[in-house]
Amino acid sequence: MSEKSCLECLKPIKGRSDKRFCDDACRNAYNNRINGEQNNIIRNINYILRKNRRILQALLGNEKLVKISLEKLQKEGFQFDYHTHLLHTSKGQSYVFVYEYGYLLLEHSLCLIVKQK
C-alpha cells in the first residue's frame, strides 16, 4: 500500500486513496497560493500591455498615423515582446497590435503607429 502525502503540508494522508489534502484548511491554503501565483503572472503581463498601449496612444496623439523610430519607442519603455494580436493586410504586411493601437515595422529602424478603426 502506497502512502500519499498532502500537497500542502506533506504529511501522510490517511483514508481514501484519491485524497490530495489532509483537510479543507490545507486544500484552501494550497489553492490560494496557486491562484495567487497565477494572478501575479496575469497582473504583470497586463501591466506591460497597458503600458505599451499607453505609449502608442501618446505617440499617435490625434494623428491617423505616425512614423517614428524604434529607438524612440524603446526609450519610452515599450516592450516589443508583449502584444495582443496581429493584423495581416492583403498587401502582406503584418501589424502588431496592443489592444486597438498597432505598429508596422518599416525599413531603417522605423515603424508606423496606427489605431484600429
Query: Site residues (CB under 5 A) for Zn ion?
Result: 6, 8-9, 22, 26
Residue (19 or 51) nearer to Zn ion, CB:
19
Find the shortest distance in angstroms from Cβ 35 to Zn ion.
18
SS3 5: strand
**30, amino acid identity:** Y
Residue (17 or 90) nearer to Zn ion, CB:
17
Rg of the Cα atoms in the chain:
24
Q: Which residue is it, cell 516589443?
A: 80
Find the shortest distance in angstroms from Cβ 38 to Zn ion.
21
Find the shortest distance in angstroms from Cβ 83 to Zn ion.
42
Non-local (6+) Cβ contacts of 21 within 8 A are 6, 7, 8, 13, 27, 30
Residue (22 or 96) nearer to Zn ion, CB:
22
